């Protein structure tokens, strides 16, 4: 499995307020499996990660700007959480377009915690089953999705988890799905 993602390119769509562990652990999992992972964000420069939405954590370099990328540039997408991160992403038309195009392409998408807010804004959860942080579940239901309370859910390549405690299962599942 160490080289199961050789040659694959993974976008991690994130901006200021991203929950650090939800960016770092999935990125490590896919790069350890051989993928190239790039942080895609709203603006060039750096983004400020957070711990528990309260404490500033590390800053991360932005590799690409979302208005300059397309779904064809990547093989898979990761949407980390933190409350500020997806709230900012869902207000950006380029980020919403990118997420919508990605899900509609059928390429795999991993989303954790509050990350589904961007999926809801992109109108791509209707008829899908996923999990999320508890406070996001009503939004998913209202957008036509089905919510289950499980560690990890894989609905035809849409992989979701609830919170950082689920990261081991989430990371293993995204690597397996991204390798298909």
Q: Is 171 a catalytic residue?
A: no
Q: How many CA atoms lie within 13 A of 81 on its CB side?
A: 27
Q: Which of 113, 120, 122, 159 is labelled catalytic?
A: 113
C-beta pairs of 94-98 under 8 Å, 24+ apart in sequence? 94/42, 94/66, 94/67, 95/13, 95/15, 95/42, 95/66, 96/121, 96/122, 97/122, 98/11, 98/13, 98/40, 98/66, 98/69, 98/70, 98/71
Nearest partner of 42 among 80, 90, 9, judged by Cα: 90
As annotated, the active-site residues are 113
């Amino acid at each position: 499995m160490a080289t199961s993602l050789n040659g694959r390119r993974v976008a991690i769509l994130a901006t200021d307020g991203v929950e650090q562990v939800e960016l770092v652990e999935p990125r490590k999992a896919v790069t350890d499996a051989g993928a190239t992972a790039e942080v895609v964000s709203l603006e060039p420069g750096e983004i400020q990660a957070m711990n528990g939405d309260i404490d500033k954590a590390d800053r991360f370099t932005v590799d690409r700007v979302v208005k300059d990328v397309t779904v064809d540039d990547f093989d898979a997408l990761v949407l980390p959480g933190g409350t500020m991160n997806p709230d900012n992403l869902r207000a950006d038309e380029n980020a919403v377009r990118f997420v919508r195009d990605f899900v509609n392409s059928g390429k795999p998408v991993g989303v954790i915690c509050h990350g589904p807010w961007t999926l809801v804004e992109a109108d791509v959860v209707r008829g899908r089953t996923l999990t999320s942080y508890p406070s996001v579940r009503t939004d998913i239901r209202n957008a036509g999705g089905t919510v289950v309370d499980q560690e990890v859910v894989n609905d035809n390549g849409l992989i979701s988890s609830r919170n950082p405690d689920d990261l081991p299962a989430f990371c293993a599942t995204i690597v397996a799905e991204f390798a298909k």
